[in-house]
Amino acid sequence: MLAGGDLIPLRRGLYLRDHTVDPISLASAIYGPSYISYESALAWHGLIPEKVGAIMSATLKRPADFENQMGHFWYHHIPDRIFSVGIERVDDLLLPWLLASPTKALCDSVARDASIRSQKDVCAWLESMRINALPMIDREQLAACAASYGSPAVRHLARYLKKTPTSS
């Protein structure tokens, strides 16, 4: 079946028969527990204008990378205390999957960026990502992320967004 092209190998021991499946829905099956986040979730929610090449996810496990015919899947470790905050279930007809809310995706992305050391850095990061409007910020999720993440960058993001008017 592999030689005939009927099966697509996703990772060792995991194969796909349906070639029409959206690759984003495969991420948690390839390496889990995980949820779509970072630039992939920001693009999904329409917060950044660019299309993202790799499908980026947060996981409780070690960082990992998988490349197959369906795409490039990248996984970054996050602390377990913050994993379940701001996760939404996307009910795909073939395979449901987990997605970070816009607020959680921002927090995950900022926490991963070691160059963010102040609110000024947050502003520069938002501009570099071309995030101009933040209409979907959940203030409760933002506070939970700032308190639980253990990342100064996320705390700077929370302080910056607290001062910045958004329509939530």
pLDDT digit string, tens, across residues 107-133: 999 999 999 999 999 999 999 999 866
pLDDT at 5: 73
* Mean pLDDT taken over the chain: 91
Q: Is 3 part of any domain?
A: no
Report the number of distinct structural domains present in the chain.
1
pLDDT at 28: 93
Q: Is 133 part of any domain?
A: yes
Q: Is 104 part of any domain?
A: yes
Q: Is 1 part of any domain?
A: no
Does residue 133 or residue 69 have the better pLDDT? 69
Tell me the per-residue pLDDT of 12-66, one tens digit each, with 9 for 90 and over: 889 898 878 899 999 999 999 999 999 999 999 999 988 889 999 999 999 999 9
Tell me the per-residue pLDDT of 147-160, one tens digit each, with 9 for 90 and over: 999 899 999 999 99
Per mean pLDDT, which range of 95-109, 120-134, 137-151 is the poorest?
A: 120-134
Is residue 8 within a helix (H) or strand (E), and if so which, with residue range?
strand 8-11
pLDDT at 165: 65
Structure-token pair, residue 76: 């970054």
CB 5 within 8 A of CB 18: no
Q: Is 26 part of any domain?
A: yes
> d(Cα 70, Cα 54) in Å, to the nearest integer?
10
Q: Is 66 part of any domain?
A: yes
Q: Please choose, from the candidates 103, 149, 109, the residue with its C-alpha nearest in 3D space to the C-alpha of residue 129.
A: 109
Structure-token pair, residue 115: 């160059």
Q: Is 46 part of any domain?
A: yes
Where does the chain have alpha helices with state H? 27-30, 38-44, 80-83, 102-112, 119-128, 139-148, 152-163
How many residues does this entry show for the chain? 168
Q: The domain containing residue 51 runs over which residues?
A: 8-163
Q: Is 168 part of any domain?
A: no
pLDDT at 168: 42
pLDDT at 156: 96
pTM for the model stands at 0.90
